Each structure stands twice: as C-alpha cells, then as structure tokens.
Amino acid sequence: MMRRTLSAALVLVLGLAFVGSAALMAQSVMEGKVTGTVTDDKGEPLPGVGVELTGTAIMGKRATVTSGKGTYVFLNVPPGKMTMTVSLAGFKTWIQDNLVLGAGSTLEVNPALQPGAIEEQITVLAASPVVDVKTSAVDSRLDKELLAKLPTSRDAFYDLALTTPGMFDVGSSGSWLPSPTAYGGSSMENVFLVNGVNTTNPRGAAFGSLVKVNYNAVEEVRVVALGSKAEYGSFSGAAIDVLTRSGSNQFHGNAAYYTELRGGFFKENYPITSVGDPNVPLAAPDNWLFYLAGDRLAGETKKNWEGNFTIGGPIVKDKVWFYGAFDYIRSATLPVNWSLLNNYTGRYADLKISAEPLRNTRAWVSYHYENNKGDGWSWGTQPNWDTTMTYGVGSKNNTLSAQWQWLPTSTTIFTAKYLGFWTNDRPFVPDDAPSHPGYINWWKWGPNFGIDGAFPYVEAQKSNRQTLQADVATYVEDFLGEHDIKFGVQYTKGRGNWMGGYFQNYANFTYPVGGWWGYYSGLGYAIWALQTQTWYSYGEGIGFDDGLLFYNNKTIDNPFLTVRTADSLGLFVDDQWSPTKRLTFNLGFRFDRMTTKYGEGKVYDYLTQPSDINDPNLGVVRTRAGTGNIFDFKTFSPRLGVTYQLTKDGKTVLRANYGRYYMPLAVEFLRRFGPDMQATNLDYEIYWVPWDVADADGNGYIDCTGVSGFNELQGAVRHIYGQTPLYVDNRTQDRSWTLNVGDGVKDMYTDQFSFNIEREIIKDFSLSATYIYKHSANIFVNVPINEVTGEEWVYERVPFDPEFGDPVDLYSIVWQDYTGDGKIDGNDVVWINDHGDYRVENMHAYSYTEDGELIKPQRTYQALQLVFNKRYSSRWQGLASVVYSWSNGAAQRTMRQSDNMMGPMITDDTWMGTVNYTINNMDGVLPFVPKWEVKASGSYTVPGIDADLGIRFRFHTGRPIWRLENYAIHSQWGFPEGSVIPGGGTGRIVSSTEPYYLPSLALFDFRAEKAINVRKYGSLHLVLDVFNIFNSSNVTNVEYAGLWGRITGISDARRFRLSFMFQF
C-alpha cells in the first residue's frame, strides 16, 4: 500500500514539473531571497563568479553566476540553515556555513574574494545577519530550533501565536474559538495558512484552521501583523503561517511518545481556596469578583498522551525526496463544572514528495489526513445543564496541496501552488442517551439551561476550501536601482456547509409563562405577583391560581443542509525597490473581489434513529434554492513601506509602513438556516406545575438563578416530562432566512501604520522598537427595521438611570397604532415584534443622551512595542517582548465577553439586536486589549552535561469587563414606568463606558531536556515539561450579567508532561 501511495505521489510531482509556463501563478510568502555583491579584496565587483547554496532545506543545491555588476540573487529559497560557496578562477574559494534565512525574508551576503588558487578555501566565520535590511514588515518568527526547545501545548497555530508579541488569548485556554486577538483586532480578522496557503475555517477566522498540523513536522511559524506585503490578502488582524518540513539527501526523523503525568505529586487541580472562600469577594481591588459555592473552577486530566513518528529522506538522491509523519493523540478530561469526561482521539497522517526532475524545475505534492473523534461535550455546564445533554463529533479531513516552480533564468521564477481541504463532521449522541430531547431555556428568567433529556441539536460542518495561487517573480538591477518584483493571482473557493436539525426530529424550548419586570426581586419571581396575571386565554381552568405555567415550543424539523459560500479573487503586485544600497522602498498594491452567497441546499427525510444523521444514503425530500451574492465587495489595498540602513554595516535599520487591510468575509455572517427552508411544525404546549412543588423552599418566590442554593425554575421543569399538555396549539413556521444587506454597504477596513527601528546589538541578537497605529471603520451592524416599510424604526428617547453608571436616554420605538384598529395598546407592541427585521449596514453615529454628542463609529489601537530576538548561538536563544497599548472605539460589548468575535451575525446572534446596544458602547477601551503585555521565551544549553532548559513566560494586565444592566421592556403584558420598546435583542445595556478589569495574568512554563547520543544511529531525548509551574489561579472569565462578578474560568492548573524522543 505504501509503495502504491509513493508511486502515485511521484507521478503527480513529475506531472506538475512538466506543466507549461502558461500557469502564471503562485505565492511564496514562506520562502525568502538571498542576494548580495561579490567583490575582490579591493572592493571592486567581480562578474561571472559562481555562487552556490547547499543545505538540508534546499534538498539539492542552487547555483548562479554574478552579473556584470558583481551581483547575484537566489529567489524563492526555503527557510533554514545553508552554506554558500563562491568560486572564480584566480581567487581562493570562499565558503560561509550556517547562514540562516527566515521565511519571507531577505538575506544579504557580500563575499570578498582573495587572490589565489581556486583549490584553496577560505571558510568565513562571520555570523549570519540577524537584521533584514530590505523588508519594512515587522513580524515574528519561530524557527525549528526554538520550537524544539520551548514548553508548548504542541498546537502549531493558536498556542504558538500567543508566544509572539501583540497576540492576546481568548477567555479560556480550552476555548472552541482558537484564534487570538491581534493588536486590538477581532478574532474574525485573522487568516491561517499552511505553506503560505489559506486553511482558515470558512465559517470564520475565530474558529481557527480546519487543517491541523503535526507539530514535529513544523519547520517554522511566522506571524505577520504589521506591514505585510500585498501578497498577503483577506485579513486585517494577523496572518499565522506554518511552514512544514521536506525531505533531504539524508534520512532523518523521530519517534516520540508524550504523556501527562497524573496522580500523587503530579496531580493537577487547584485547592478551591486559591481563589478565595465561596461567595466571598476577593481582596481589593478585585473585590467585585467571587466564586460561587459548588463551582469547580479547574478541570482534571484523566488521560493525555501522544505518539508521533516522522521520517524523511531521498528516493533518488539530488532528484526526488519524501517526508512522512503520523500523530496519534488520546485524552480524557473533566472540564470546569462538568462531571462527564470529555474524550478525544486524534489521528493525523502526512506524506510529502518533492522533486527536481528537470533542470531549473522544482515541484512537491503533499497529502494530509485526519480522523478525529470527541465526545462528552455540551453547550453549557453544571448545574444548569444535565450531563445527559451531551453529544460527540467524529470528523475526517482530507487535504491535498502541491507546488510547481520553473526558473527560466537565474533572476525569474514562475510558481503555481494549490491547496484544497474537505472536512466532514459526523455528530452523534451516546447510545444510552434518553429517548426524548431535554428542555432548553435560552433567555427567560435567568441563566440558560438544558435539562431532563438528551441533547437535541445536530450541527455538522461539511466544509471545504480550495485555493489556487500563482505568481511571477523577477529581479531587475538596471532600472533606477534594484527591483525584486512579484505579481500574481490568488483564487479561493470556500464552502462552509452546515448540516442541521434535531437528533430526535424535534426540540423542546421551555419557558415560564408571563412574568415581567415588576415581579422580580433578589429572591426570584413573586408568586403573588404571578397570580395576578389574567391576560392568558388557554381555556377554562388553566391559570396561575394553583401553579406555575410553562409554554413549550415543541419544534419539529427535517434535517437540512445549508450551503454557504465565500469566494475571493485577488490580484497583487509587490516591488522591493532599492535605489541605493541603504534605501529600499516596498511598494505593494492588491485588488480583491470577495463574495458570499447561499448555494443550493437540501431537505432530508425525518430520522428513524439519531445515528441516521450520518447515513450517506439518507433520503432527500427536495433541493433548496440558493441565492445570488449577498456580499459583493471590490477592494483596493495599498501596502507601502520604506527601509533605510542607518549604519554602513547593515546592523541598524529604520522602517516605516502604511497599509489598508480588509476584514475577511465569513459564511458565519449568513447564519445556519438560509433560504427555502422546509416549514417547521410548532406545537405550542402549556404545562402546569403546582405551586407547592415549584416553590421547593416555600418562601413565596420562584428562585430562577440558584441564589437560594437550588434553582426552583429548573426543578419545576423536571416535572414536565410525562405530563399531557393542558393546551396545544399546532402551528407552522417558515424559518427561511436570508441575510439582508443594504445598498452601498462597504467592507470593514483597517488602516495601519507602524514605525520601527532595529539594531543588531551583538552577534545573533537584535533589539527593535515599534510604534503601532491602527484605525478601523465601516463597522458592520444589523440595524433593526420595519419589514413592512423597509425603513428603520422611528425612535423616541426614554430617560434611564443605570444603577452602576451615568444617566442615559434609551431608544424606544414610537408606540402608535400599527394594527390600524384605532387603538394604541399591547397589540401594537405585538405587531412591532412580529414585523421586525434587520438590515446589514455600516454603523451610523449614535449618542448616549437625546441632546448628547453623536459618536462616530470607529476603532483605534495604538501601542509601543519592544522586541528582543536572539538566534541560537553561544548555547542560548530567545524571543522577548514588551507591549504597552491604548485603544478606543465601538465593540460588541453587549454580546458574549468571553470571546472576541465580531460581525453582523455570529452563532445566530444579531449585532445589533437593538439600537440600545450602542448605549455606553461607542467608545472606551477595546475588549481583549491589556494595557501591558510582557512575554519571554527561550532556551539555554547547560555546558558540561549538554542539557537544555527552556522557558516560556507570559504576563499581561487584566482585560476589561463591562457590567451589563437590564432595563424595563414595554410588552403586551405590561408597561412599567420607564419601559421601552427595543424592537429586538435583549433588554440590557452597558452600564458605563468605564470597565472593570480582571486581575493580571502570569503564566510560567518550564522545560528540561537531556539528549543521549546513540553512536551511529541518532540521539535519545528525555524531556520534562511543566506548565504553569507556580500553579497560578489566574481569573480568565467572569459573568458580566446575572450573577455579576462570578468567576467562571481560571487558567489551567499546573501540569507535567514527560516525553521520550528518538531522533535520527
């Protein structure tokens, strides 16, 4: 089987090598350039000199000759260590080892030849330059030497990105949203790449990459967030680019085993007292925080191990090479406030074939396979969600990528590159799950819950992305200086297909009947007040006199597939122009057309059992209609930079850059339902629970938050299953939904400027300082509109005095006779709610009070950054940074503050659900932006014993949190004084523009490694990694509504990982 696979891959490589030059295209942002001038010992340039590069990363060798001016250039050189050999008759051969080229960088080497016989050799001991004198980008690189010695979670994207400056984490390390905040941006603004090609989840960047990477197969990671070339498109945050390894003329690889140590001394878990006593505020200034009695804030690992194998080498020496990798991961953990194990199994396999079958032609092809499975998951935690409300997902991924390069001359190169991935999720519920779905309350009377049944939701990604990239690069030196010009085309076809429905064909959404603003106190909803309600009409004998009423929306749906597309076409040109040896202009321009739409979906037959959802032969009732383009943006992005060498030795460089960057479009903005849905059957059911049963403690209130120690609302719901409803109203509902986008809407953009100075202080060590300015505008919002008129609602302002902020004037839709019955009453409020819609627009200016200043929507981020970079030499290496930042602008603070997503529609939540979301929310510091950030990573080789010690330290001041405050809603049931008609969303606002701040976070990880050489065979490595070595209980998440200040997440506890690796 392996022989057939290698043969097929080899045929594909050879086929790519013979592709004609008509394929004009590719992208090589992960490769670099080596250039310079060869002179004699008097400084005179030497033409016709032979220059040769060799090295593991290069596989074979690269050779060229100098021009009439003594210059040479190597384009698209893979990053890594290499040796340069320079020779010319009448001169001694010049050799320099250990030259280091970073991804996307320029290495300038200027050999000076001495007279003598060509057979004589001079080996230069000078250090490889550490400062790139050509680029105006300010990026971060983690090379394989540093990656091999750092204590990391072995996540090539998210975890490694957090090691670099300006990247800020989401609220929880175990988040389902593995995308950082990059210099104040939203996590939806990033792009993830493997070997320079987009692997971002089509759903949106916040959901990370859909292609996982074998950590031991990583050659280098590059994080580009400041001053990128025009070649990088479709992002306004950070481009996180992972370069994988290739084979070489020597066999090399590893066999490794990693295991987390458990039990006894190694047992993780904080003592609960490490974050204070239950229900008691922490010490000042954090006395707004507390943890709730019964909460278990730290997870527990039951199993966590990994087996890894890689191998690479020649198939035909100097012609064809291979690289293969396999990874197997098993883990079982108890997460925060959840007593059911989360199990995970991951299997990754990779095969890469590289070849140089013809002169001046190079090609490679790579195949990546994943087969992953996890279970024990849910959409909430205990005690609000039962462990019966759990599900799992099996997921397979197939990824094919390839590259072809042709060098018709030593200064011109054509490249074509392709990557396509296909992901297929297979969701399931446990075999012993209850036969009926549980009861879910998403919004009413307190925190959401899901109890007393099985998990109902089917959510499966059937996603794929195919990217073709192509470019032509050429080097010209006789036109007003030197030019390194590259132009190309990039086309991406993304499909974020979504399979939905219910495992049991229906779901229960269960809410208490009635109850409004005036009925609630700190103890819960007053029974006497609920008993005064008489507006209902469910039939004789059905009322609040004897019990608590619930309405259950039994929602019956066919399984369905929604096809959502996000396509883009980009054209770019980059010119690195050096009019003099010390001055370089980086001139880039790109044009993009980005579109999203709904494709043709499907409606499936009802399921006979939950497992039918994964049946490839599941019957199709009909095909759903698609749409034309929903978003259709044409954008133009200048990327301009300048670099000047302040000193003749090239060790001090001044950089400045400006660029415009557009937010990438995501299919998440289109929601999961889409157009032409099958009609949903709704059984509107009324249930009754006696007061003496519902009011468990007999105090006359229905506790709906658990403040008394028992959530009586949830307790009452548990008595519903098995009852016959007192009243049933059968209805149908058309859940077809198409994102409504206004005319003239423009894509959100970020203008970015940075100014940098970098100096090589000592050999292999540089220090750089950067000022950063980012300004974002054209912010997307979903504005509430009247679906009948198609216009925005007309508002009046209603005074409101928040308990924790300054007085404001809320927006309230004007209450008038919408029904045309000649009366203004509760039916008109119902009409407003029934005839509301939304339209995506670029955000308008809003005020906090009726006569207040209109605040223009924008986001501004500024920072001062200091970075220390040390390449491995003299036994040590490191990357350290200090960032001080300040920011201001509009943000989605009224949504979940535990993530940093941004867009007009995220996970079915509408931004803005109501115009009142703008109150106290148009300015103020941006979310997930700490004032101070300090990071340090590196390693040291202890002399004498040749052991390596690695560290990774991360500190930042606490992120801001805004308290949300409820206001009275004007409804058909009652009109409390000061109430408003918001027209949608939730009835809460940001209390004040001044946030609270979480405590500072500090995490220190440590690694100790000892290598034992095995003569002739390789080396055996014994490694101990200790994560969060001081067991710091950093607060990462809190409740910002409801139980304000309740701690809901802390950083992972101290963990120990032991690993054994044999390298050969």
Separation CA 67–CA 1064 (nearest Å): 41
CB 976 within 8 A of CB 999: no
pLDDT at position 104 is 79
pLDDT of residue 449: 96
Mind listing the pLDDT tens digit for each residue in 725-740? 999 999 999 989 899 9
CB 221, CB 162: distance < 8 Å = no
The DSSP string of 867-924 is: EEEEEEETTEEEEEEEEEEEEEE---TTS-TTS---SSEETTEETTSSGGGGTT-SSS
Task: Over range 285-307, report the average pLDDT.
Answer: 88
Concatenating the DSSP letter of every residue in 703-765 gives -SSSTTSS-HHHHHHTTTTTPPPSEEEEEEE-------B-TT----EEEEEEEEEEEEEETTE
269: pLDDT strictly greater than 90: no
Residue 17 has pLDDT above 60, yes or no: no
213: nearest Cα among 294, 158, 173, 261: 158
pLDDT range class, residue 899, cuts 50, 70, 90: confident
Q: pLDDT tens-digit profile of 537-591?
A: 787 778 888 899 999 999 999 999 999 999 999 999 999 999 998 999 999 999 9
pLDDT digits (tens, 9 = 90+) for 25-66: 333 466 888 999 999 888 888 888 999 998 887 877 888 888
**pLDDT reported for residue 517:** 65
The pLDDT value given to residue 737:
87
Where in 102-155 does DSSP place strands (E)? 106-108, 112-113, 121-124, 138-143
- Listing DSSP states for 485-513 in one string gives EEEEEEEEEEEEEEEEEETTSEEEEEEES
- pLDDT given for residue 346 in this prediction: 96
Q: Which of 329-338, 390-399, 770-779 has the lowest mean pLDDT?
A: 329-338
Residue 856 has pLDDT above 90, yes or no: yes
CA–CA distance from 803 to each of 235, 783, 800, 846, 966 (Å)?
Answer: 40, 27, 9, 22, 10
Mean of the pLDDT values across residues 376-385? 93
* Whether the predicted pLDDT of 659 surpasses 70: yes
Task: List residues bridging with 791 in a β-sheet.
Answer: 786
What are the Cα distances from residue 850, in Å, to 853, 891, 909, 987? 9, 21, 27, 19
- Phi-psi region at 916: left, alpha or beta (left = phi > 0; alpha = psi -120 to 50): alpha
Residues 6+ apart with CB under 8 A from 1032: 1001, 1002, 1003, 1004, 1051
Smallest CA-to-CA distance from 903 within 783, 987, 779, 989 is with: 779
Does residue 339 surpass a pLDDT of 80?
A: yes
What value does the mean pLDDT of the chain take?
90
Residue 272 has pLDDT above 70, yes or no: no
* Whether pLDDT at 24 is above 70: no
**How are beta strands 191-194 and 239-244 bridged, if at all?**
parallel
Helix, strand or coil, per DSSP, at residue 807: coil
CB 576 within 8 A of CB 484: yes
Q: What pLDDT digit, counting tens, does each position of 1043-1063 carry? A: 899 998 888 889 999 999 999
pLDDT for 19 equals 38
Does the structure show a pLDDT above 80 at 181? Answer: yes
| pLDDT higher at 463 or 516 | 463
Range picked from 67-81, 346-360, 533-547, 551-565 for highest mean pLDDT: 551-565
CATH number of 31-124: 2.60.40.1120
pLDDT at residue 985, rounded to an integer: 85
Q: How far is CA 75 from CA 30, 59, 152, in A?
A: 12, 15, 33
Backbone angles phi, psi at 952, to 5 degrees: -145, 120
For the segment 129-150, the average pLDDT, to the nearest whole number, is 91
Residue 172: per-residue pLDDT = 56
Scanning the structure block, which residue is given the tokens 């009413």?
444
pLDDT value at residue 424: 95
Please determine, for residue 2, whether its predicted confidence score (pLDDT) is greater than 60: no
Q: Which residue has the tokens 């750089």?
A: 768
Task: Please check the confidence at residue 174 and state whether its pLDDT lies above 60.
Answer: no
Neighbour tally for 981: CB within 10 Å: 24
**Chain CA centroid to CA 978, Å:** 41
Is residue 217 classed as helix, strand or coil in its secondary structure? Answer: helix
- In the predicted model, is pLDDT for residue 901 greater than 90? no
Enumerate long-range contacts of 123-127, CB under 8 Å, 24 or more apart. 123/95, 123/96, 123/97, 124/94, 124/95, 124/96, 126/96, 127/763, 127/764, 127/873
Beta bridge pairs of residue 492: 467, 568
Cis status of the peptide bond prior to 912, with omega within 30 of 0 = yes
Range 627-654 average pLDDT: 95
E strand or H helix at 9: helix 2-17
pLDDT of 7 > 60? The answer is no
Tell me the range of 115-119, 405-409, 600-604 where mean pLDDT is highest.
Answer: 600-604
Q: Are 623 and 604 in contact (CB under 8 A)?
A: no
* Tokens describing residue 500: 């939905």
Over residues 594-601, the mean pLDDT reads 95
CA atoms within 13 A on the CB side of 367: 12
Under the banding of pLDDT at 50, 70 and 90, the label for residue 4 is: very low
Round to whole Å and give the CA distance between 771 and 229. 19
- Annotated domain spans of the chain: 31-124, 507-556+680-733, 557-678+737-758, 779-874+884-924+960-995
Give the CA count within 13 Å in the CB-facing half-sphere of 992: 11
> Considering Cα of 1051, then 1056, then 1058, then 1063, what sign does the dihedral take?
positive
Q: 872-881, 904-913, 946-955: which has the minimum mean pLDDT?
A: 904-913
* Whole-number Å distance between alpha carbons of 857 and 66: 55
Helix (H, G, I), strand (E, B) or coil at 847: coil
Strand partners, 100: 81
Give the model's pLDDT for residue 315.
95
Residue 333 or residue 10, greater confidence: 333
Instruction: Specify the residue for token string 């001062």.
Output: 864
- Predicted confidence at residue 274, as pLDDT, reads 64
pTM, entire model: 0.89
User: What percentage of the chain exceeds 70 in pLDDT?
Assistant: 95
Q: Which amino acid is at 253?
A: G
% of residues, the chain, pLDDT over 90: 65
pLDDT, mean of residues 158-174: 82
